[in-house]
């Protein structure tokens, strides 16, 4: 077993370029007993050997590629290469490491597609591949990741639709897929998730798709951000989400009137700007004590802004409510009435 881990790590080292000599210790002794940089080892139950359980090689100015031999580290829990300059593909052999709980490869220059094999890592609870150049679809197999809590896949070139299979993930908290090339429709199945807190899909192209009305059933949601997604149709009633604190539906092609039911009392930001909304601004934006930003700018609204919009808000310190109306930006701080 020591020879296997030595062979695997030497293969990993062989594919890396280390201009700052961060891995200078990777040339002597046993990785687990000679303090190789970033290599953390533990014993596992019913086994007398030390095993490599963590590779923590973040922010070391490493370039080169990830060797497929990393898949031979069969007891690895954490694979962390974030904030380097790695290129090439994510090796499909990572899918052989059934003990993995965390993969953080964000902030590199990785390309190619996401391996289907990752979707069978039953213990994986965090996948961070944001800020790379990864393309292709989000694998449907990711719907098998029943321990997954955090999908951070934003700022890549992913395409295709968000897999509806993700609704099967019982403990999913964050789904961040913003700034990709994803297309519609938005999966209504996400309304069946049990714990989703953040759905962030800004800067994609869901042209021809609308916001599913059933998203009002995602009772755990804290943030819904669908800015600049080419969404059409009406704004659904989201008043049934009890703790929604952040809503951004700006820069879309939404039509119809603004729903009249009141959002959660802890909401701090509501941005409905740059759409094709019509009708009047309803009074339901009154009595929201934590509201700090409210924008209706660049729509087809008419009528007056309800003066009660300031009711229930206490202005202390530097706190203010920034309100943009349909014609011109209006900044209001201490005053309780619109001019």
87 vs 106: CA distance, rounded Å: 12
What does the block give as tokens for 106?
């964000």
- Please give the model's pTM, rounded to 2 decimal places: 0.92
Residues 284-319 pLDDT 10s: 988 888 988 899 999 999 988 887 887 767 666 666
Query: Does the pLDDT at position 322 exceed 50?
Result: yes
Query: Does the pLDDT at position 109 exceed 80?
Result: yes
Residues 203-232 pLDDT 10s: 999 999 999 999 999 999 999 999 999 999
Query: Does the pLDDT at position 66 exceed 80?
Result: yes
Counting Cα atoms < 13 Å in the Cβ hemisphere of 118 gives 23
Question: Which comes out higher in pLDDT, residue 331 or 111?
Answer: 111
Query: Does the pLDDT at position 337 exceed 50?
Result: no
Query: Does the pLDDT at position 8 exceed 60?
Result: yes
Question: Which comes out higher in pLDDT, residue 336 or 209?
Answer: 209
Sign of CA dihedral 63, 67, 73, 78: positive
175 vs 60: CA distance, rounded Å: 28
330-333, Cβ contacts within 8 angstroms, sequence gap of 24 or more: none
Query: Does the pLDDT at position 61 exceed 50?
Result: yes
Write down the mean pLDDT value for the chain. Answer: 92
pLDDT confidence of residue 5: 86
Residues 20-36 pLDDT 10s: 999 999 988 899 999 99
């Amino acid at each position: 077993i020591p020879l296997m881990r030595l062979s695997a790590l030497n293969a990993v080292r062989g594919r890396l370029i280390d201009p700052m000599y961060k891995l200078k210790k990777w040339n002597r002794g046993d990785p687990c007993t000679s303090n190789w940089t970033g290599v953390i080892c533990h014993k596992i139950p019913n086994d007398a050997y030390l095993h490599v359980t963590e590779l923590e090689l973040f922010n070391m100015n490493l370039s080169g590629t990830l060797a497929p031999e990393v898949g031979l580290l069969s007891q690895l829990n954490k694979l962390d290469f974030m904030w380097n300059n790695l290129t090439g593909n994510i090796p499909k052999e990572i899918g052989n490491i059934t003990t993995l709980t965390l993969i953080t490869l964000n902030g590199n220059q990785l390309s190619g597609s996401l391996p289907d094999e990752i979707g069978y890592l039953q213990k994986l609870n965090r996948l961070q591949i944001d800020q790379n150049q990864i393309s292709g679809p989000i694998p449907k197999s990711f719907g098998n990741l029943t321990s997954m809590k955090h999908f951070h896949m934003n700022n890549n070139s992913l395409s295709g639709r968000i897999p509806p299979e993700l609704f099967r993930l019982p403990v999913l908290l964050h789904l961040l897929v913003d700034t990709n090339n994803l297309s519609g429709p938005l999966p209504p199945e996400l309304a069946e998730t049990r714990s989703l807190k953040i759905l962030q899909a800004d800067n994609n192209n869901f042209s021809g798709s609308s916001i599913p009305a059933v998203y009002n059933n995602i009772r755990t949601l804290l943030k819904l951000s669908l800015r600049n997604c080419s969404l059409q149709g009406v704004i659904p009633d989201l008043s049934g989400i009890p703790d929604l604190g952040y809503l951004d539906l700006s820069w879309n092609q939404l039509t119809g009137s603004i729903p009249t039911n009141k959002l959660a009392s802890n909401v701090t930001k509501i941005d409905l700007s740059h759409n094709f909304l019509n009708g009047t601004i309803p009074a339901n934006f009154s009595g929201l004590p934590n509201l700090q930003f409210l924008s209706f700018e660049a729509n087809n609204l008419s009528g007056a802004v309800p003066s009660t919009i300031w009711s229930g808000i206490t202005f202390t310190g530097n706190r203010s409510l920034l309100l943009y109306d349909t014609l011109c930006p209006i900044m209001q701080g201490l005053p309780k009435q619109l001019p």
